[in-house]
Amino acid sequence: MRARAGALLLVPALLSGCAYGLVRDGQIREEPFAEIVTRTAAVRGDPRPEPVDARVVEPDGVPALLRASIAHEWPPEEMAAYQERLVVVGLWPPDRDLLEETLRVAREEIAGFYLPETQVLYAVEDVPTPFLVRVLSVLLRRDLLRESVLAHELVHLLQHRAVPSLFEVTGWTQQDDASAAVQAALEGDATHYGFLALLPPGSEGLVPAPADVQAAMEKEIAQKEEGALAAAPGLLRLTLAFPYARGYPLSLAEGTALLDLPPASTEQVLHEERRYADFQVADLARLEEALPAGCESLGQNTVGELGSWVLLSDLGAEPATALAASDGWDGDRYLASRCGGRHALLWWTAWDTEADAVEFERAYRGIAGAVAARAGLAGLHIERAGVQVIVSSEPLAALAPLLEAQARRARIESLDELRAHFGLDSSIQR
């Protein structure tokens, strides 16, 4: 009977909400939040930031804030060209709006966020709390969900103040693979130190194992059968867990030094033994200048190992085939164009070995029809020469023979080298 009485006393506390909450009357409580700021800065070895602007936002207010933030970084015409590039290479369906789909997913899935342009952190009100977290919050007299959210976003603030160049986006709409790699470093660092901020000093060994974090996130996503994420195109659905699950082990291994030399490709994130592997980059600017008459450039981009896996997975390749065929990536670059009202593509890819190139070629041929249909491409050609596989459609197929002479290539291994090759502003500085 004593156990039954305890349960009866606990249930009302759970159902009525945590009495030790960080939020009261739509505001973050100053004193407990100050403690979180102190703990979070201490575990990273950073100075305690003053002041910190933290606010509460209702879920319905999230899309407007994020829309304004994205517009601050990407003008509408740049966003439109970026989306169209994704359509041309086959990574995005032409009948879905990238920004609107992203905001729908954010409205339902995020519990907090940090806006670099204003340096404001937000905790989302009325986020469903898992039952176990609610129980632990009551037993420990702590608001664990909001503590974890705010600590995570506080780490982003500390990152921004320490390494502002990692938050600069000028020119990065044409560097998807490097951007995803940097995002993994930032989210992995925030996940790692966000966990540590919840623990007593000296409890570093109690943080979750990377395999457990990855399995939990991937299971959570896979189990969604309805809602914005379940209905989202593969590019959003398949990459949601990547920066957290794959960046977290990097931060565990490297600490804050991860942000001094962050990964420059998703290959460097996905494979521990290739953390500093070099790879090829290619600037196709000279080929943009040689477009056939009637063709307008939509810009360049890099798909990367992660993007290659998403493309193959989303358009019908078997899971094992997609994983194996994207492994062995050694660089790529594509040029998207609109020619007489129709899309056209030129995509150069390089692979570690000829066997890797053959494997990718075979897998890509299996989805080529789906790519052409989604992107609206005519006369899709797939050619392999040694470790290179070149995909082109009419009329850009005429440019494929010029790749060897006109693509400005280099082997690099760092983000600073990538910035230098493409003329992007700013090196990594603390």
Predicted confidence (pLDDT) at residue 16 exceeds the cutoff of 50: no
| Domain finish residue from 274, 304, 329 | 274
Pair 225, 339 in one domain: no
Choose between 203 and 409: higher pLDDT.
Answer: 409
Residue 417 included in any domain: no
Count of other CB atoms within 10 angstroms of residue 212: 9
Computed from CA positions of residues 195, 154, 21, 213, in that sequence, does the dihedral angle turn out positive or negative? negative
pLDDT at 134: 60
Average pLDDT over residues 307-334: 98
Alpha-carbon distance of 37 to 205, in angstroms, equals 22
Pair 205, 296 in one domain:
no
> Rounded to a whole number, what is the distance in angstroms from the first to the last CA of the chain?
60
Query: Does 233 sit behind a cis peptide bond, omega within 30 degrees of 0 on the bond before it?
Result: no
pLDDT band at 94 (very low <50, low <70, confident <90, very high): very high
| 197 occurs within a structural domain | yes
Whether 367 maps to a domain, the answer reads: yes
pLDDT score for 163? 94
- Total domain count, the chain: 2
What does the mean pLDDT of the chain come to?
90
d(CA 365, CA 332) in angstroms, rounded, equals 17
294 lies in some domain: yes
Label residue 133 by pLDDT band (50, 70, 90): low
Whole-angstrom distance, CA of residue 246 vs CA of residue 65 = 27
Which pLDDT band holds residue 143 (cuts at 50, 70, 90)? confident
Question: Residue 140 — very low, low, confident or very high, per pLDDT cuts 50/70/90?
Answer: low
Q: Are residues 340 and 269 in the same domain?
A: no
Q: Which of 30-34, 314-318, 423-427 has the highest mean pLDDT?
A: 314-318
Range 200-218 average pLDDT: 87
114 shares a domain with 161: yes
313 and 406 share a domain? yes
Residues 236 and 341 in one domain: no
Last residue of a domain, one of 232, 255, 274: 274
Q: Are residues 170 and 308 in the same domain?
A: no
pLDDT on residue 135: 54
Is residue 424 assigned to a domain?
no
- Tell me the pLDDT tens digit for each residue of 373-418: 999 999 999 999 999 999 999 999 999 999 999 999 999 999 999 9
**pLDDT tens digits along 45-85:** 999 988 899 999 999 999 999 999 999 888 899 999 999 99
> Which of 274, 308, 331 is the last residue in one of the domains?
274
**Residue 112 domain-assigned (yes or no):** yes
Q: Are residues 9 and 102 in the same domain?
A: yes
The answer on pLDDT for 6 being more than 60 is: no
The DSSP secondary-structure symbol of 114 reads: E
Q: How many CB atoms sit inside 10 A of residue 222's CB?
A: 11
What sign does the CA torsion over 422, 86, 306, 348 have?
negative
262 and 312, same domain (yes or no):
no
* Domain identity same for 268 and 320: no
Burial (CB < 10 A; 0-12, 13-18, 19+), residue 345, is: buried
Give the residue carrying structure tokens 């990097």.
250
Query: Is residue 426 pLDDT above 70, yes or no?
Result: no
Compute the distance between CA of residue 193 and CA of residue 251 in angstroms, rounded to an integer. Answer: 9
- Statement to judge: residues 293 and 201 lie in one domain: no
Identify whether residues 189 and 45 lie together within a single domain: yes
Most distant pair of Cα atoms in the chain: their distance:
85
- pLDDT exceeds 90 at position 216: no
| Segments forming the whole domain that contains residue 349 | 279-412
